[in-house]
């Protein structure tokens, strides 16, 4: 790091858990953020501000006026623009030293597998169960840690799945595919409190910073947040030996 970087990231370097070595790992790190909306906006901005060296942002959707109540990487001038490109521009304004690559198409199949394999950590910021299961399988195949977030109405949740750990469950252990199909029908018709996605998205970014820098202990289990009550709850998640995605690992 040069003098400018030492000054820019000095508040990280002052932390014993990160220090210079951890900040250098962040600068060398590569995060794949799938979804550049409500969750992906704070994730991308905080990872860029934290000094993550490379960000890949994937989203096929375009910015809509209804998004602006919560998707803070976008503004009115971005309405109609691809979300990955809009978020990438916001990242560059925040930290021009961050190398950001927008992917303005839906990641699936071999393209998803390749993007996951190139990254050091994957952050699932999508709102579709089909995408979440596909991302989960790609992370299992590539051995990449997955930071999964979700937010709806006034409720949010976060879980970290790390296939590098033999005892780690996966997303399908938590939500069997048949349960996800039923839930998705309800989510499509629901609203969401704007700041809630910021709470969960910044939690995702924090876990990614820890994974990349080596700081602290990575989150275990499932954390849920009730925004109306301001209450967090944490649940242990056991790996399901009959899981269709990871049961045979």
Classify residue 160 by its DSSP letter: E
Residue 161: name the closest of 119, 208, 93 by CA. Answer: 208
Residue 213: name the closest of 8, 17, 1, 57 by CA. Answer: 17
Catalytic residue among 98, 125, 173, 187: 187
Tell the burial category of 66 from Cβ atoms under 10 Å away from its Cβ (0-12, 13-18, 19+).
Answer: exposed
Q: Based on the residue annotation, tell me whether 187 is a catalytic residue of this protein.
A: yes
**Strands 99-103 vs 54-58: parallel, antiparallel or unpaired:** parallel
Residue 150: name the closest of 169, 131, 137, 176 by CA. Answer: 131
What is the rounded CA–CA span in Å between residue 156 and residue 117? 28
What is the rounded CA–CA span in Å between residue 70 and residue 42? 10
Classify residue 243 by its DSSP letter: -
Residues 6+ away with beta carbon under 8 Å from 12: 18, 22, 23, 26, 50, 51
Catalytic center residues: 187
């Amino acid at each position: 790091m040069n003098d400018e970087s030492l000054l820019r990231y000095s508040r990280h370097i002052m932390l014993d858990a990160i220090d210079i070595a951890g900040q250098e790992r962040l600068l060398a790190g590569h995060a794949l953020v799938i979804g550049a909306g409500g969750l992906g906006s704070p994730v991308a901005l905080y990872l860029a501000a934290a000094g993550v060296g490379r960000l890949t942002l994937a989203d096929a959707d375009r910015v809509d006026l209804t998004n602006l109540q919560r998707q803070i990487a976008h503004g009115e001038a971005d309405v109609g623009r691809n979300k990955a490109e809009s978020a990438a521009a916001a990242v560059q304004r925040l930290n021009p030293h961050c190398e950001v690559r927008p992917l303005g198409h839906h990641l699936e199949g071999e393209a998803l597998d390749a993007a996951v394999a190139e990254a050091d950590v994957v952050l699932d910021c999508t709102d579709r169960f089909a995408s979440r299961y596909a991302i989960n399988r790609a992370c299992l195949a590539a051995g990449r840690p997955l930071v999964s977030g979700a937010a709806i109405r006034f409720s949010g949740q976060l879980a970290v799945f790390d296939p590098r750990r033999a005892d780690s469950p996966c997303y399908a252990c938590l939500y069997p595919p048949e349960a996800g199909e039923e839930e998705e029908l309800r989510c499509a018709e629901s609203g969401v409190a704007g700041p809630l996605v910021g709470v969960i998205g910044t939690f995702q970014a924090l876990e990614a910073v820890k994974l990349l820098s080596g700081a602290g202990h990575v989150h275990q289990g499932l954390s849920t947040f009730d925004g109306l009550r301001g209450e967090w709850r944490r649940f242990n998640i056991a790996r399901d030996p009959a899981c269709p995605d990871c049961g045979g690992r």
